[in-house]
């Protein structure tokens, strides 16, 4: 008797790309707004970016239902933290929380590829990049999602910073100013939209600075 | 007096609602398990789809002055290099290190969990945990998850009251005490260099250079290893990071480009 195969998968891939870049006193987080399934576009105006705390923003691509569940889980845990500690979580703490939350579903993973961006306690930009089961590291820039293989080499070329593992220690954040970083992000998504069918429609850019969070949009190719 | 049997409890749950993460670090965390008849098939597909980061070279050896630990820093997802700057030497506490090989998330999570357990041991017993004890704690946890698809190949290196200690622990449940180990896809290459150059009575500088070269050679030949070669030393006063060198630059340091004789002649002619 042949083994019974599942005729239904709990997962789906809604496509899309996200990028985050850390600067000396800012952090840029961006994602496209297209949500697809297979060859169909479900909507052109879906936000993949979620504000987790005052200085901490997450962008996730992959299966958006899992992403939504993950965002709710994190928001709930953040609220508990605020009740217990009477303050907002800082970015490195949220990064560890996200890693643990992902790993707690190690045997039934969230199909969610995340980048977390924000300002650390000293006001410097920080970006954390994750795989789907929770391994993470602090980096100067990162991209995830269907266009990441197109975007990452370009960011490596423009922003390649010394590895944080080198001794003597060298700074990982980019020397670019905020306006240059935002321009770079726009360029990167324009290129990714040309060659990745799942990336396009509109680009949502979130910039986290000491003054707060600013949101910006740019049109991308709709084909 | 009730004996503390938390270490012997089976950590892998089958039933039971996912509990809040905040309570009870002594028992291993409860995990949600998918509601399917074919657990192994599901895990295989999920892991293939999710493609968690792995691929690596790590090594550690005991010598006269202590323990030397070294690793590369590349993480690959299938054929894509997902990162060139992964920290594969994990600082469990100021006198103990763990290395990461296999699934990055598995290693990061369980090493952090081990660090928590070691700290709880210190608080409960008013003394530091031994390397033997720490490696046993980790090995018991991994054994209880045996068959569920965790991928962990780690070495626990440290200095305790009995001197330097080195154990190899893996997700199959194996735990080995030894003097020299290398783990990961690049380990055959690292073993070649390490076994050839090893002597028990080396100085710290010689041992560090041997470890660095072994990692470099592994990154040279193994596609899944690369990035930065980090070398740590564990001595009586704890661990210290000795070096972190980009392996691309190490290549030209070990094999510098020599101008060939033809080029030299041409330079002489141009100067004449």
Residue-wise pLDDT tens digits, B236-256: 999 999 999 999 999 999 888
pLDDT at position A162: 78
CB neighbours (10 Å) of residue A191?
15
Of B29, B77, B230, the CB nearest to A131: B77
Half-sphere exposure of A200 (CA within 13 A, CB side): 13
Helices (H) then strands (E): counts for chain A: 4, 12
Residue-wise pLDDT tens digits, B148-205: 989 999 999 999 999 999 999 999 889 999 999 999 989 999 999 999 999 999 999 9
- Distance to chain B for A62, nearest Cα, Å: 10
Question: Helix A91-103 and helix A64-85: axis angle, to 10°?
Answer: 130
Q: Which residue of A has its CA nearest to B44?
A: A107
b/e map B251-266, b = 16+ CB within 10 Å: eeeeeeeeeeeeeeee
Query: How much is the average pLDDT of A75-92?
Result: 96
Which of B110, B114, B91, B106 is closest to B54 using CA atoms? B106
Helix (H) or strand (E) holding B232: strand B228-235
pLDDT at position B16: 38
Q: Which residue of B has its CA nearest to A62?
A: B50
C-alpha dist (Å) from residue B213 to A77, B207, B216 = 46, 10, 5
CA–CA separation, B192 and B217 (whole Å): 9
Q: What is the ipTM of this complex?
A: 0.91
For a pLDDT cut of 70, what percent of chain B falls above it?
A: 82
What is the set of domains in chain B, with CATH numbers?
58-254 (3.60.20.10)
- Distance to chain B for A204, nearest Cα, Å: 24
Residues of B within 8 A of A164 (CB-CB) are 85
Residue-wise pLDDT tens digits, B62-112: 999 999 999 999 988 778 888 888 899 989 889 999 998 988 899 999 999
C-alpha dist (Å) from residue A158 to A20, A87, A199, B124, B255 = 14, 37, 21, 51, 29
Residues of A within 8 A of B77 (CB-CB) are 131
Q: Which residue of B has its CA nearest to A104?
A: B31
Which of B89, B65, B84 is closest to B73 using CA atoms? B84
For a pLDDT cut of 90, what percent of chain B falls above it?
A: 60
Largest Cα span, chain A = 66
CB neighbours (10 Å) of residue B80?
12
Note the Cα B252 to chain centre separation in Å: 26
pLDDT at position B258: 83
CB spacing of A131 vs B228 below 8 angstroms:
no
> Residue ranges of the domains in chain A?
17-220
Query: How much is the average pLDDT of B24-37?
Result: 68
Q: Which residue of B has its CA nearest to A80?
A: B22
CA–CA separation, A32 and A47 (whole Å): 8
Q: Which residues in chain A (133-172) have CB-CB distances under 8 A to chain B?
A: 133-137, 139, 149, 163-167
CB spacing of A107 vs B230 below 8 angstroms:
no
CB spacing of B242 vs A167 below 8 angstroms:
yes
Quote the DSSP letter at residue B16: S
Q: Give the pLDDT band (50/70/90) at residue B15.
A: very low
Residue B48 buriedness (CB in 10 A; 0-12 / 13-18 / 19+): exposed
CATH superfamily of A17-220: Aminohydrolase, N-terminal nucleophile (Ntn) domain (3.60.20.10)
Helix (H, G, I), strand (E, B) or coil at B228: strand
C-alpha dist (Å) from residue B208 to A175, B185, B258 = 33, 21, 26
Which of B89, B45, B49 is closest to B71 using CA atoms? B89
DSSP string covering A51-78: EEETTEEEEEEE-HHHHHHHHHHHHHHH
H-type alpha helices, B69-130 = 104-125
Question: Counting one residue from A and one from B, how many pairs have CB atoms under 8 Å apart?
Answer: 107
Residues of B within 8 A of A163 (CB-CB) are 73, 84-85, 227-228, 244, 246
Which residues in A11-139 belong to E strands, given as ranges? Answer: 17-22, 26-32, 35-37, 40-43, 49-53, 56-62, 112-119, 125-130, 136-139
What are the residue numbers of the active site of B?
56
Q: What is the mean pLDDT of chain A?
A: 93
Quote the DSSP letter at residue A185: H
CB spacing of B31 vs A149 below 8 angstroms:
no
CA–CA separation, A143 and A30 (whole Å): 9
């Amino acid at each position: 008797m042949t083994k019974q195969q599942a005729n239904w998968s709990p997962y789906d891939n809604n496509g899309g790309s996200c990028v985050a870049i850390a600067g000396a006193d800012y952090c840029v987080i961006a994602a496209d707004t297209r949500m697809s399934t297979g060859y169909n576009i479900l909507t052109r105006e879906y936000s993949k970016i979620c504000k987790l705390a005052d200085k901490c923003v997450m962008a996730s691509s992959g299966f958006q239902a899992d992403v939504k569940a993950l965002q709710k889980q994190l928001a709930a845990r953040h609220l508990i933290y605020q009740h217990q500690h009477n303050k907002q979580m800082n970015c490195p703490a949220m990064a560890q929380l996200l890693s643990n939350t992902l790993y707690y579903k190690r045997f039934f993973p969230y199909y969610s590829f995340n980048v977390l961006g924000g300002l650390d306690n000293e006001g410097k930009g920080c970006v954390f990049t994750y795989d789907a089961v929770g391994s993470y590291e602090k980096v100067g820039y990162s991209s995830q999602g269907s266009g990441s293989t197109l975007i990452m080499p370009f960011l490596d070329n423009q922003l390649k910073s010394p590895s944080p593992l080198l001794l003597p220690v060298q700074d990982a954040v980019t020397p670019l100013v905020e306006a240059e970083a935002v321009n770079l992000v726009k360029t990167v998504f324009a290129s990714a939209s040309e060659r990745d069918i799942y990336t396009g429609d509109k680009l949502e850019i979130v910039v986290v600075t000491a003054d707060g969070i600013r949101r910006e949009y740019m049109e991308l190719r709709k084909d | 007096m009730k004996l503390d049997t938390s270490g012997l409890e089976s950590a892998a749950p089958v039933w039971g609602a996912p509990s809040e993460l905040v309570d009870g670090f002594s028992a291993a965390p409860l995990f949600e398990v998918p509601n399917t008849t074919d657990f192994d098939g599901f895990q295989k597909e999920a892991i293939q789809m999710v493609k968690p980061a792995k691929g690596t070279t790590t090594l550690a050896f005991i010598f006269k002055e202590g323990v030397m630990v070294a690793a590369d820093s590349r993480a690959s997802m299938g054929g894509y290099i997902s990162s060139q700057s992964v920290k594969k030497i994990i600082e469990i506490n100021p006198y103990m290190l763990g290395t990461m090989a296999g699934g990055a998330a598995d290693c990061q999570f369980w090493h952090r969990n081990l660090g928590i357990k070691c700290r709880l041991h210190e608080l409960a017993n008013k003394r530091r945990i031994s390397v033997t004890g720490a490696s046993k704690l980790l090995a018991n946890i991994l054994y209880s998850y045996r068959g569920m698809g965790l991928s962990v190949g780690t070495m626990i290196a440290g200095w305790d009251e009995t001197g330097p200690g080195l154990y190899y622990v893996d997700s199959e449940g194996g735990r080995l005490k030894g003097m020299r180990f290398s783990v990961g896809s690049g380990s055959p290459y690292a073993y070649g260099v390490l076994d050839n150059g090893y002597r028990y009575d080396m100085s710290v500088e010689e041992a560090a250079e041997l470890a660095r070269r072994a990692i470099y050679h592994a990154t040279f030949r193994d596609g899944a290893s690369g990035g930065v070669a980090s070398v740590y030393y564990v001595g009586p006063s704890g661990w210290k990071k000795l070096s972190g060198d980009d392996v691309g630059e190490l290549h030209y340091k070990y094999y510098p480009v020599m101008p060939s004789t033809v080029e030299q002649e041409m330079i002489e002619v141009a100067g004449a």
